[in-house]
C-alpha cells in the first residue's frame, strides 16, 4: 500500500500516518511491531530519547534488512537534555543509537520554560549541519509558538500535540495552518482510554469500519498527520487501512461535537 504524504514547510514529504513507539520497551516486541508495520505500508516511525528505544530502530533496520532512506524517523529531545550544549550532545547520541547520520525530523519534546530558547537555537544549528531533514516542536500551545517566533530563524515544520476526537484543539490547528506548521496528532486513539463512545460506534457500523478507523480517519480528514501506537499485528494493519473510504460531512460534524478537552497525556497549557 502506498501511503499519501504531506509536504512540510521546507519541502520535505512526510507520510500522513506513522507508528507510535512510546512504551515499547522490549526489543523483540519492538522489532515484531516494526516488521508488521513496514509490511503494512508504514514508513514513519515516531520515537524519542524519553522512550529509551531509539537503539531498537538500528536493530530493526539490521534484522529486517531495510534501507534507511526508505524510512522516516522522528525523535525528540528529552526535557532533561534541554540546554544549548546538552541538546547537541544528546542529539549525537540519538544518531549513534539509531545508527544513522541524520533523523528525518527532530522535535523538542516539551516547551520547558527557560531552556526551550537555547534548545531551539541548538536544533537550528544541527539542522544547518543536515543532522535533521526537518526540525519541530511538541506539546507547544499557541503561546509557546508565538514566543518561539521572537528568537527563531526557522519556523518549526511540525508541532506534535495530543489530538483526537475527544481533544480537538481547533484554535491550535487554525494557528498552525495560518503559520505553515504541520500538526501531528499524538495519542490519536486517546491512548486507548475511550473506546466506547456510542456516536463513534454508530458511525463505524454505517461505514462497516472499526471504531478506531473512524477515530483515525476523522483526523486524516482534518488534514493532520497521525501516529497511532500498537504492538499487535492485526491492529497495526487495521490502523492504516484508512484509504478506501471517506467520512461524509454530516458525520464529520457529528464527530466534531464529541470534543470534550480530554487530555490523556501531558498538559502544557500552564507552562509559561
| Interacting residue ranges for ligand NAP, rule: CB under 6 A | 20-22, 46, 109, 138-139, 160, 186-192, 212, 227-232, 235, 238-239, 265-266
Minimum distance between the CB of residue 255 and ligand NAP, rounded to whole angstroms? 16
Q: Which is nearer to ligand NAP, 21 or 183 (CB)?
A: 21
- Nearest-approach distance from CB 231 to ligand NAP, in angstroms: 4
38 catalytic? Reply is no
Catalytic residue among 38, 42, 51, 186: 51
- Smallest gap from Cβ 265 to ligand NAP, in A, equals 5
Residues 6+ apart with CB under 8 A from 183: 158, 159, 160, 161, 163, 172, 173, 176, 177, 223, 224, 225
CA distances from 53 to 25, 30, 36, 50, 148 (A): 6, 8, 17, 8, 29
H or E element that contains 103: strand 103-108
Instruction: Report the DSSP beta bridge partners of residue 63.
Output: none
Q: Which residue is nearest to ligand NAP (CB)?
A: 20
- The smaller minimum CB distance to ligand NAP, of residues 59 and 249, is found at 59
> In degrees rounded to 5, what are phi and psi of residue 20?
-75, 140
Residue closer to ligand NAP by CB (options 129, 193) is 193
- Residues involved in catalysis: 51
Amino acid at each position: 500500500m502506498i501511503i499519501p504524504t504531506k509536504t512540510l514547510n521546507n519541502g520535505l514529504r512526510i507520510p500522513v500516518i506513522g507508528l507510535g513507539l512510546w512504551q515499547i520497551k522490549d526489543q523483540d516486541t519492538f522489532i515484531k511491531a516494526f516488521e508488521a508495520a513496514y509490511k503494512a505500508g508504514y514508513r514513519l516511525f515516531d520515537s524519542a530519547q524519553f522512550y529509551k528505544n531509539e537503539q531498537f530502530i538500528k536493530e530493526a533496520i539490521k534484522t529486517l534488512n531495510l534501507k534507511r532512506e526508505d524510512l522516516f524517523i522522528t525523535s525528540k529531545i528529552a526535557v532533561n537534555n534541554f540546554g544549548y550544549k546538552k541538546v547537541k550532545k544528546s542529539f549525537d547520541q540519538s544518531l549513534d543509537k539509531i545508527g544513522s547520520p541524520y533523523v528525518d525530523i527532530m522535535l523538542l519534546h516539551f516547551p520547558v520554560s527557560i531552556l526551550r530558547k537555547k534548545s531551539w537555537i541548538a536544533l537550528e544549528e544541527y539542522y544547518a549541519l543536515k543532522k535533521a531533514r526537518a526540525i519541530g516542536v511538541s506539546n507547544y500551545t499557541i503561546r509557546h509558538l508565538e514566543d518561539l517566533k521572537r528568537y527563531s530563524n526557522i519556523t518549526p515544520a511540525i508541532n506534535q500535540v495530543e489530538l483526537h476526537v475527544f481533544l480537538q484543539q481547533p484554535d491550535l490547528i487554525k494557528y498552525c495552518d495560518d503559520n505553515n506548521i504541520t500538526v501531528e496528532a499524538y495519542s490519536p486513539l486517546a491512548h486507548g482510554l475511550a473506546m466506547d463512545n456510542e456516536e463513534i460506534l454508530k458511525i463505524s457500523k454505517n461505514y462497516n469500519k472499526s471504531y478506531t478507523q473512524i477515530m483515525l480517519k476523522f483526523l486524516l480528514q482534518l488534514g493532520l498527520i497521525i501516529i497511532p501506537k500498537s504492538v499487535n499485528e492485526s491492529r497495526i494493519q487495521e490502523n492504516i487501512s484508512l484509504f478506501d473510504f471517506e467520512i461524509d460531512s454530516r458525520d464529520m460534524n457529528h464527530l466534531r461535537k464529541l470534543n470534550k478537552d480530554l487530555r490523556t497525556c501531558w498538559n502544557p497549557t500552564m507552562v509559561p
